[in-house]
Amino acid sequence: MGRFEGRVAVITGAARGIGFATATRFAEEGASVAVIDLDEEAAAAAAARLAPVDGASAIGVGADVSDAGSVAAALARVVGELGGLHVLVNNAGITRDNLLFKMSEDDWDLVLGVHLKGAFLMSKAAQEHFVAQRYGKILNLSSTSALGNRGQANYSAAKMGVQGFTRTLGIELGPFGINVNAIAPGFIATEMTDATAARLGIELEEFRRLNAEANPVRRVGRPEDIAAAAAFLCSDEASYITGQTLYVDGGATLG
Ligand code: NAD
């Protein structure tokens, strides 16, 4: 029996990358999955690529997690179409990297808006259902960049903010049967890191090789590495774990 049989999972930013790998894993383990992403067509196309088990289903919903009205409408649709809500993965993300002196106010607002305000809005809307049913799982995507990364003052602040947010929700929601945790990935090969290579003017294979050498396991991460940890943290096997941030980074932050 899959760990998510009978559960409905919402995963933001799931049209590709880590979010899509997580949606795939959750669907394989029995969940009905709502793929949320900015573009409705991309979200629907991703949902159509999932293979839900018998009795489960998958839908794609276009929504902007940094917009309260969009979030409310998206969750209402998910609950209406999939019949409930049990797991929320706040994965949607963007980067707008620049050194501080070149970073615009827009770069700051956009990144904080998607990662931090987005996680806040989604979690606030989801907790209504979770508290009422005395069950829920929230998983937030942090990053090793939370510990500091040149050119990412906005992203780093957002990702460390996510860790504080996770701890606080762990305290507030634990008594209602809700677990709240975070994963801080290291370098994962996705379009997000491909774009970083392009911005730095480094050839993609070389960029990945350098990042592989920068951690003890000597490879870059795959979206499936994060999906596996996400599945564990959102499962009932992890019901005594809350408020934690799990670094899934090949040991890159060990020093
Ligand atoms: P990605 O760029 O491949 O995918 C991100 C998805 O989020 C995209 O489909 C995008 O359309 C969606 N999105 C962006 N803004 C949105 C919004 N306002 N509303 C809804 N959807 C939105 O990125 P990824 O590499 O898969 O990263 C996923 C998460 O993991 C992000 O939070 C990222 O910060 C985090 N992360 C990634 C890495 C890595 O190395 N790739 C490392 C650490 C943390």
| Span 16-39, pLDDT tens digits | 999 999 999 999 999 999 999 999
Amino acid 116 reads L
Residues 43 and 121: beta-carbon distance below 8 Å: no
The catalytic residue among 135, 155, 240, 247 is 155
Q: Is 112 in a helix, a strand, or coil?
A: helix
Residues 230 and 89: beta-carbon distance below 8 Å: yes
Phi-psi region of 164 (alpha: psi -120 to 50; beta: other; left: phi over 0): alpha
**Spatial distance between the Cα atoms of 138 and 38, rounded to a whole number of angstroms:** 20
Q: Which atom of ligand 1 is nearest to the CA of 191?
A: 3
Distance 66 CA to ligand 1 centre (A): 13
Pick from 12, 78, 192, 210 the residue to mutate for probing ligand 1's pocket: most ligand atoms within 8 Å of its CB: 192
Nearest ligand 1 atom to alpha carbon 141: 32
Task: Select from 245, 240, 217, 216 the least CA-distant residue to 230.
Answer: 245
240 noted as active-site residue = no
Task: Quote the ligand 1 centre to 218 CA distance (angstroms).
Answer: 23
Residue 255 has what pLDDT?
Answer: 85
Q: What is the pLDDT of residues 90-129, one digit of tens each?
A: 999 999 999 999 999 999 999 999 999 999 999 999 999 9
Best of 18, 40, 107 to mutate for ligand 1, by most ligand atoms within 8 A of CB? 18
Distances (CA, A) of 88 to 10, 25, 94, 108: 5, 14, 19, 25
Ligand 1 atom closest to residue 144's alpha carbon, by position in its atom list: 43
| Ligand 1-lining residues (CB < 6 angstroms) | 12-13, 15-19, 37-38, 64-66, 91-94, 114, 118, 141, 143, 185, 187-188, 190-193
Domains and CATH numbers, the chain: 8-186+222-248 (3.40.50.720), 189-220 (no CATH)
State the SS3 of 172-218. HHHHHCEEEEEEEECCECCHHHHHHHHHHCCCHHHHHHHHHHCCCCC
Distance from Cα 118 to the centre of ligand 1, integer Å = 12
Q: Position of tokens 């799990």? A: 246
d(CA 225, ligand 1 centre) in Å:
15
Where the chain has pLDDT below 50, the residues are none
Q: Which atom of ligand 1 is nearest to the CA of 226?
A: 30
> Quick check: helix, strand or coil at residue 1?
coil
